[in-house]
Amino acid sequence: MPLTEQVTDAHLERLALERVVPALLSHGFCWVDGLLGEAAGDAVLDQVQQLHRAGALHDGRLAGSVLGVQLRRGRGDKVAWVSGAERGCEAIGFLLTLIDKMISVCASRLGGKEIRARSKAMVACYPGNGAGYVKHVDNPNGDGRVLTCTYYLNKNWNAEEHGGLLRIFPEGKSYVTDVHPLFDRLLVFWSDRRNPHEVQPSFSTRYAVTVWYFDSEERAAARRRFKDLQGKQLGLMMRRRLHRCRGRGAPHPPSLRPPSSMDDPLAMRSRD
């Protein structure tokens, strides 16, 4: 699917250097309007709506959920994880490529962060029934996520009627910042405890596409912790099964395999 509108690398570089980097360093967040333009934005919206109509979106889980524990209360959106390379996701892939280019310019100017990879894209829909997302931090425990980038797809959005504001509670500040989820708006903010935020109840269908960029050193440390935790859990499972087998007089415990690894939507994806 050809996208006729052109967003030049020079334009993305100017956005990064003149707006995104200064705002992140001074305020911790930034948004850019008109990122793709009408035609390309419409193409992304159309593909997101197609995913929704096809039933590809499923209940999201709360930030901080681990090891397959689906914590749902407090979050009302439905999500799908895509790479942008899937058939029918070409426009989403185009969007991700542009965000990658912009963040690559920012990466070396954000205080020594080693930003070399990102997650898959989370396509999210709040279905307009008053669903929202309680106040939370994307990365409260050092999982490697350093930047959150959310692209909004909602035309003619009126917060007084539709709700759905993203409210940021900047750490240590006496004020809050409300971000309207307007069509063709990209929001970028630090993913850690500097930016607790919530999605207020939405009373109209609300779409967004979000990706997270990783600090490579923090992400590697998080993966080591996760691997250690899996090993401890597997050892505990083996001891429990051995104890049960001995209680039944069985000569040998049944064979054990490690729990199957989850499809990790936050798996590192090279920006190259």
What values do phi and psi take at 201, rounded to 5? -50, 135
Q: Is the dihedral of CA 145, 148, 153, 158 positive or negative?
A: positive
What is the pairing mode between strands 121-126 and 269-270? unpaired
Which whole-number Å values give the CA distances from 163 to 104, 203, 204, in the listed order?
Answer: 33, 6, 8
Q: Give me 106's structure tokens.
A: 């920012």
- 151's enclosing H/E stretch is strand 145-152
Q: What is the pTM of this model?
A: 0.83
Say how far apart CA 131 and CA 127 lie, in whole Å: 7
Largest alpha-carbon pair distance within the chain? 73
What values do phi and psi take at 123, rounded to 5? -85, 125
pLDDT at 62: 61
pLDDT at 7: 87
pLDDT in tens, the chain (272 residues): 455 457 899 999 999 999 999 999 999 999 999 999 999 999 999 999 999 999 999 998 765 544 333 344 578 999 999 999 999 999 999 999 999 999 999 999 998 889 999 999 999 999 999 999 999 999 999 999 999 999 999 999 999 999 999 999 999 999 999 999 999 999 999 999 999 999 999 999 999 999 999 999 999 998 888 786 776 677 777 777 777 766 666 554 444 334 343 345 555 454 54
Which whole-number Å values give the CA distances from 218 to 115, 189, 213, 225, 263, in the listed order?
Answer: 10, 17, 11, 11, 20
- 167's enclosing H/E stretch is strand 166-168
- Give the Cβ contact number of residue 80 at 10 Å: 22
Say how far apart CA 35 and CA 59 lie, in whole Å: 28
Coil, strand, or helix at residue 127? coil
